[in-house]
Every structure is written in structure tokens, then in C-alpha cells.
Chain A
Amino acid sequence: MRKLSVLTATAVLGLGMSACTTDPEPAAPGDTTGPITVKASDTACEVGRAETAAGTVTFTIANGGAKVTEFYVYAAGDRVMGEVENIAPGLTRELKVELTAGTYETACKPGMIGKGIRGAFKVTGSAAPLTADAKLAEATANYQRYIQSQTAALLPKTEEFVAAVKAGDAEKAKALFPIARTYWERIEPVAEIFGDLDPKIDGRAEVIEEGMAFTGFHRLEQDLWEKKDISKSGPIADQLLVDVKEIVAKANAEKLSPLQLANGAKELLDEVASGKITGEEDRYSHTDLWDFAANVEGSKASVQALRPTLEERAPELVTALDTAFANVETALGKHRAGDGWKLHNQLTQAELKELSDVINALAEPISKVAAVVAK
């Protein structure tokens, strides 16, 4: 029945054009299960209800302001439980987020910067979350184990990389850079849950907000390849390790919901399509294909965790995904170089187009996984 209530919620969004539509039934007063409307403006963030029952919570955010806004639901420590980015003025967007009983914060971010306009939010009761389905529960447990396996490698590899930078051993640091990043890129959707840590660790020069320093992997990449001077990189390297340690501890304790898993699998491929194929991610080192491979592996791990559910509910989708993953692996496999990969700038435009085509071919079926999981 969850699906039906979602469709009703979509209809309620049409209030702004009620002159042309049959008015939908107003929500019953005192209803604690229906969608929650959020009126966002440049100065306010009015959340229709500050309390709701546990389960899948739907927010419909209408941006009545003049600035582009974002909406977040945070758990303790600014852990992002769900977010909608890029809500243009005049638009209404929907956020579905699975919440168990506890206290949370909501936030609108007009202008998409800063801590945003916060509000307290409480979830009561113990409505069975989606994971009550045994196969889905196993999926989240399975993926949690995958995360732990990756963080178990991410931490020591980052330590080695940082040690090489601090020792002034540029050659060793350059060799370790794409390897440490592989473990990072495989689980990036998890990392993105933890607010500010992602840009600190993996931010690129142009995405750093005003007042924030350019730190992390890409800053060290710039020092190593472009500036060719790591004599002053020690503090940046130390900070990277501190940040990676923090995210590893948080990620290990994290259990992604099945929907997060499905969306994460798609987001990893979006990362490939928008950042890696273009060579933007590793613009100084051109080691984008390492990240490319890692994103695809991470995406596959998410899908595999969901496989029992998908096989039961959409076997033809599983077949399509298997074929598409195999095609990506074949196309990428042509660019192996030793234990690693060719550099981005060694590929011809035709070779990059082939990679783009196979990623598009995979991302379309993957974009259907979330709806199957949510059934």
C-alpha cells in the first residue's frame, strides 16, 4: 500500500494549479502518516509537521524563494539520511526517506550553502521499515560487509600514500594515489552521506566553497603532478588521514537502506558518466580509469547485494544488468596497462565514446532498480 500513498502525495503537489484541476482530497487533520509539505523560501523552511511515524517518510518541498535550494534530513552528527539537491525557484520536489524512531533535523539550504535553516524533527513508533523483508534485510547486511571490506583497505592504503607524501617520495606517492582512491571510489555513495567529509577528502578545486580550503586527495594530486612540489604538503596529507579515519569509522557503522543501495548503484555510474569519462576527476594525474573501474565495481556490489530481491521481482532486469555489466567490463578491459589502467589522455575520442556508450547502456537498466526494490 505504500506505493498508493505515494501517488496520492504526487497529486497533492498540484495545489498551485488547482484552478485547472479537480481539487484533491485534503489530508485528514491529525494525520501522522501522510506526506509532509515543506515550504522553502530564501529565509524560511516551514516543515508542515515536526513529528511523524516511522517508516518511509515523504517530504514534498516547494521552493517559493528566489534562490535555488536544497533540503536535507539529518540524523545526529549531521549524518545525511536523505537529501534533494538543486530545487529551482518555483519547483516542488519530493524526498522519500526511510526513518526509524528517533530525533532528526530538517534543513533547507537557500543558495545551496552553509548549514541551512534547521528544524527539529521527531519520528515515533516502530513501524516496520522496508527491510522487514528478509531478502532486503540480507541485502543491507551484505552491503554493510562490503563497505567494511573496502574501508579495511582504504585506511592502510591511505596511510601508505600519506607516509610517502610526507617522506617526499613523489614516485611512490604517485603510484599509491590511484590505488588508495580505488577503495574510496567503490563506496563513495556511503561517503557522501557524511556531509562535509566528502568534499574535504575528494573535493575538486572548483567545487570548494568560499571559506573552505582545497584539501584531500585532489589537492595532493595537484601538488604531485602539476606543482611537482610536495615539500609543503605534509599538513594536507595529515588532514586527509584524519578525515579518512573519521569516515571509515562512520561508514563501518552505517547500514544503507535498500533504496539507498539502489540509488547508490546508479549514482556511481553517474559519477563515471559525468566525471571520469570527461577526465575531470583526476585532471592532474589522468588516472581516471582507476576511479572508473572502482565506481563500476562498487555499483555492481550494490546491485549484487540486491540480487535475491531482483531475481524474485524482476528476473528480466537481472539478465539485462548482467549483460550490461559484462559489456562495460569488456570495453574497459581493453585499456588495462599492467596491474592498472591507461591514462585518460592516452585514450582516443572514439575509445572514450565507446566507454560512454556502455555506461549509458548499463545506467538505464540500473535506474529501474530502485522502483523494483520499493515495490
Chain B
Amino acid sequence: MVSRRVALTAAGVGIAGVAGAAAVGAAMMDDERSPASASPGDAVAFYGEHQAGIVTPAQDRLHFASFDVITKDRAKLVEMLREWTAAAARMTQGRDAGLLGAVGGQAEAPPDDTGEALGLPASGLTLTIGFGRSLFRDAAGTDRFGIADRLPAALEALPHFPGDALRPEISDGDLCVQACANDPQVAVHAIRNLARIGFGTVSIRYSQLGFGRTSSTSREQATARNLMGFKDGTRNLKLEDTDLLREQLWARAEDGAAWMAGGSYLVTRRIRMTVETWDRTPLAEQEAIFGRDKGEGAPLGQAKEFDEPDFAVKGADGEPVIAKQAHIRLAHPDFNNGAHLLRRGYNFVDGSDGLGRLDAGLFFIAYQRDPRKQFVPVQRSLARADILNEYIRHVSSGLWACPPGVTGDGDHWGRALFA
């Protein structure tokens, strides 16, 4: 098996045309970089105790897809998960989806890789799978694949939150795959090839592109900004917070579902922002709504981004400097029973909405050990009181059980669940 870049330079495997030649040139230059430094093109290990794409330092781009399972055949579903795992193991290492590759197969046959990532490096691609509630039991309560007894208690359906404007056609799903990479083409290529492998077994329910990370999941990363212009995820759970990760990110066997040990629960929300009205809001009001200053990102009353907010300090008017309804107060662990989330959301702009406004917002992604104790209480307090709600609308929602990592060649996504 050769990587996409090696395949291009190897004798006897031809790529037609100018575009191919240009790609080869770029790849050769890339190879001259020092292999020791972690660069945006590098590969992230696929195998491991936990799935990659959770505490992995957040890549720049997202392609998230939710799938409906359209077969009733359990064996067929498991076989597809096996094929997906093999393809994911290859693609995350910068290889073609199939064994023959985009140009290595028989001329009369369609290639087993779609080819748009030829010449591109692995680009930090991670592929993270999750299982939705409906995979265990359908709306009528039927045990679809004989795994209903393995439904984790933590996968309890999310409640309705005040202001939810969820569209069913872009919510939920039986399976999800989160593809993150530093090159959007690599992320899109991965989802496209998995969807193709899945034809007849699964069907894409909805997919979402994200163009810019809004969270940092490592202290080595600068905090990115959301489309409201504010630093987002300053207080995020990070790779380095090992004790908190053990406590609040990774599920354990004693939580109830043994097959989820080492896994994590994912909540996805497509949050539309009416950026046009936000942009006409005065700076002071914007900062009061978030509870942070816009430039540095420091909590109001403090100097630096990572300074601890002081929720008790009052201004000259006798009111708290960080308002009672400020976003950082409502979302802070101190007011939510110590609940943390590992967020790795992405900004999106899906064109415009026909009313002269951008269809823009945040595709919120949060991992946690138990949504009932983490996302749900935090979102309850936000939905009830957050002034930001005037500028945002939750239009899609998903809740997923992301199993532990694939340990090696003989393992595959869902092996423990379907064992």
C-alpha cells in the first residue's frame, strides 16, 4: 500500500494531465519539509484507546455527515462498518479509500477511490464515528438490530429547550461521521468515499461543512473566533487537562454501557446566527452579552483572556460587572454543578437565505462523559436566560454515542457494540 503522494511519483502509475503534474510538484516540495515538526499536512494516528478527532488539536476544517441505515440486515451493517474502518484507517494516513486506489484499478471499472485527494497529504484527517439513539430502537420502539439492550442510559433523548427551532430533516440520524482536516478537500473526500462505500446500507441524511474551527482543544492552539467576532472556547476542556478529561470526557464501563468504555458522548447543534442584527449591536452591548471584551477576550473586569472571571465584582452602578445573564456566567462550570464540555465546533456559511442574509452560524460540537449531567443543564440555563438567544437559533440537533478507539487491524468500528 502506498500513500497518495508516493503513488503519484511512482513509475508506472500514470496520472493524466497538467493538474496531476502540478500536484506532483507540490507534493515533492512538501516532502522536503523536516519530518520532525508537526505540520498541517501530517497524519494523525487512527488506532488508539480513544477515537481521534476528540482531543486531537482541532483542525481547521469540518465535514460532518449524519446517515440513516436503510438495510434491515444486521450482518450487512456490520460488514459496512468493517469496510468503513478499513477505508478510514487508510484515508487518515493519506492513502486512497480502496486498495486499488483512484488510478490503480482496471480501466473498465470505476476506481475504488474518487481521486480528488490525489497528491494531497493526510492533512491531519481524523474520522470519528457516533451511533444515534434510533440505531438501537426506531420511533416505534422496535429493536432494529438486536442491540436495544445496549442503548446507554446517557443516550437519553435531549429535552426540548426553549427557543429550539429544530428541523427534523437535518436532525438526529442512525450514524454520524465527523471528518476534520486541515484541508477541506481532504475532509470532503473522506465523507464522500464513506458514503459511496455505504450505498445500499446507509444513506446520507444531512451533511455540514465547517470552514473555521471555533475552539481550541490544546493549550498550544490560539483561541479562535466565532462569527460574532468573539473568542470562543477559552475555558474549553483541553488535551492537557488529564484529570478533567478522565472525569468529564471519557465514558467508563461502570457508567452502564461496557461497550462505551473509553468512548464519549457527542452533541451536535447547528446554530444559525442572524449576524446582520448582531453586527448593528453596540460594542459595549456585545461585550456585556458575552461577558468578555471583544479584543483580548478577557472576562469583563479582568485583563487577560485566561484570567479567571470574578462573578462577584460589582461596577459603580452596583450591578455585577459580568451581568447575571452574560453568556460566560450561564455557561460557567461554577453555575452548572462543575460541568465541563469539550467543544470543537466550526463556523459555517451555507450561502444565503434568499432574504439578503447569510445563512451563517456555528456548527456546535461538544464531547462529554454524560450529556444528562453536562450539555443538558448548561443548555437549559442558556436557553432560558442567555441574551444571545436574540441572535441565534438552534435548527439542528444530534446526540451520538462515540465508541472507544479502534485498537488495530483486527478491530473495527462497532465491534464491541455488535459483538
**Given contacts A20-B8, A21-B11, is CB(A92)–CB(B109) below 8 Å?**
no
Q: Which of B9, B20, B196, B200 contacts A16 (CB 8 A)?
A: B20
A contact set with B: CB distance below 8 Å: 3, 6-7, 9-14, 16-17, 19-22, 24, 60, 62, 90-94, 96, 259, 324, 327, 349, 353-354, 356-358, 360-364, 367-368, 370-371, 373-374
Number of A-B contacts (CB under 8 A): 101
Q: List 13 A-B contacts (CB under 8 A).
A: A11-B11, A12-B14, A14-B20, A16-B16, A16-B17, A16-B20, A16-B21, A17-B24, A21-B11, A96-B107, A349-B169, A371-B109, A374-B108
Contact A360 B199 (CB under 8 A): yes
Residues from chain B with a CB closer than 8 A to the CB of A358 are: 200
Contact B107 A10 (CB under 8 A): yes
Q: Mark B97-120, 1 if CB is under 8 A from A, else 0.
A: 000000101111110000000000
Cβ distance B14 to chain A, nearest Cβ, rounded Å: 4
Contact B19 A90 (CB under 8 A): yes
Q: Which of A62, A349, A367, A373 contacts B16 (CB 8 A)?
A: A62
Residues from chain B with a CB closer than 8 A to the CB of A353 are: 203
Cβ distance B372 to chain A, nearest Cβ, rounded Å: 31
Answer whether residue B157 sits at the interface, using C-beta atoms and an 8 A cutoff.
Answer: no
Residues from chain A with a CB closer than 8 A to the CB of B11 are: 11, 21-22, 24
Cβ distance B230 to chain A, nearest Cβ, rounded Å: 37
B20 to A, closest residue via Cβ: A17
Cβ distance A372 to chain B, nearest Cβ, rounded Å: 8
Chain A interface SS verdict (over half): helix
Answer whether residue B313 sits at the interface, using C-beta atoms and an 8 A cutoff.
Answer: no
B107 to A, closest residue via Cβ: A6
Expressed in whole angstroms, the Cα–Cα distance for A361 and B73 within the complex equals: 14
Contact B199 A364 (CB under 8 A): yes
Contact A93 B8 (CB under 8 A): no
Contact A3 B12 (CB under 8 A): no
Residues from chain B with a CB closer than 8 A to the CB of A62 are: 16-17
B200 to A, closest residue via Cβ: A361
Contact B196 A17 (CB under 8 A): no
Contact B18 A16 (CB under 8 A): yes
**Given contacts A20-B28, A90-B19, is CB(A374)–CB(B106) below 8 Å?**
yes
Expressed in whole angstroms, the Cα–Cα distance for A16 and B108 within the complex equals: 23
Expressed in whole angstroms, the Cα–Cα distance for A145 and B346 within the complex equals: 58
Most buried by A among B8, B10, B15, B28: B15
Answer whether residue B355 sits at the interface, using C-beta atoms and an 8 A cutoff.
Answer: no
B201 to A, closest residue via Cβ: A361
Cβ distance B373 to chain A, nearest Cβ, rounded Å: 35
**Given contacts A353-B203, A364-B196, A364-B200, is CB(A17)–CB(B109) below 8 Å?**
no
**Given contacts A22-B12, A324-B200, is CB(A371)–CB(B108) below 8 Å?**
yes
Residues from chain A with a CB closer than 8 A to the CB of B103 are: 10
Interface members, chain B 142-164 (any A CB < 8 Å):
none
Cβ distance B4 to chain A, nearest Cβ, rounded Å: 14
B11 to A, closest residue via Cβ: A22
Residues from chain A with a CB closer than 8 A to the CB of B244 are: none
Residues from chain B with a CB closer than 8 A to the CB of A11 are: 11-14
B106 to A, closest residue via Cβ: A371
Cβ distance A6 to chain B, nearest Cβ, rounded Å: 5
Residues from chain B with a CB closer than 8 A to the CB of A370 are: 108-109
Residues from chain B with a CB closer than 8 A to the CB of A6 are: 106-107
Expressed in whole angstroms, the Cα–Cα distance for A294 and B286 within the complex equals: 60
Contact A373 B108 (CB under 8 A): yes
Residues from chain B with a CB closer than 8 A to the CB of A10 are: 13-14, 103, 107
Expressed in whole angstroms, the Cα–Cα distance for A16 and B25 within the complex equals: 12
Cβ distance A91 to chain B, nearest Cβ, rounded Å: 5
Residues from chain A with a CB closer than 8 A to the CB of B70 are: 354, 357, 361
Expressed in whole angstroms, the Cα–Cα distance for A93 and B28 within the complex equals: 25
Expressed in whole angstroms, the Cα–Cα distance for A356 and B70 within the complex equals: 12
Contact A357 B24 (CB under 8 A): no
Expressed in whole angstroms, the Cα–Cα distance for A288 and B200 within the complex equals: 23
B202 to A, closest residue via Cβ: A357
Contact A361 B199 (CB under 8 A): yes
Cβ distance A125 to chain B, nearest Cβ, rounded Å: 23
Expressed in whole angstroms, the Cα–Cα distance for A24 and B200 within the complex equals: 41
Residues from chain A with a CB closer than 8 A to the CB of B20 are: 14, 16-17
Residues from chain A with a CB closer than 8 A to the CB of B8 are: 20
Contact B17 A91 (CB under 8 A): yes
Expressed in whole angstroms, the Cα–Cα distance for A368 and B100 within the complex equals: 14
Cβ distance B3 to chain A, nearest Cβ, rounded Å: 15
Contact A20 B16 (CB under 8 A): no
Cβ distance B204 to chain A, nearest Cβ, rounded Å: 9
Cβ distance A256 to chain B, nearest Cβ, rounded Å: 15
Expressed in whole angstroms, the Cα–Cα distance for A93 and B8 within the complex equals: 17
Expressed in whole angstroms, the Cα–Cα distance for A17 and B28 within the complex equals: 12
Residues from chain A with a CB closer than 8 A to the CB of B201 are: 361
**Given contacts A22-B11, A364-B200, is CB(A17)–CB(B106) below 8 Å?**
no
Cβ distance B202 to chain A, nearest Cβ, rounded Å: 9
**Given contacts A11-B12, A11-B14, A20-B9, is CB(A96)–CB(B200) below 8 Å?**
no
Cβ distance B87 to chain A, nearest Cβ, rounded Å: 14
Q: Mark B179-210, 1 if CB is under 8 A from A, else 0.
A: 00000000000000000100111010000000
- Beyond the given pairs A354-B70, A356-B203, 15 more chain A to chain B contacts, judged by CB atoms under 8 angstroms and listed by A's residue number, are A10-B103, A11-B13, A14-B15, A16-B17, A16-B20, A17-B20, A17-B21, A19-B21, A20-B8, A21-B14, A60-B16, A93-B16, A96-B107, A361-B70, A363-B199
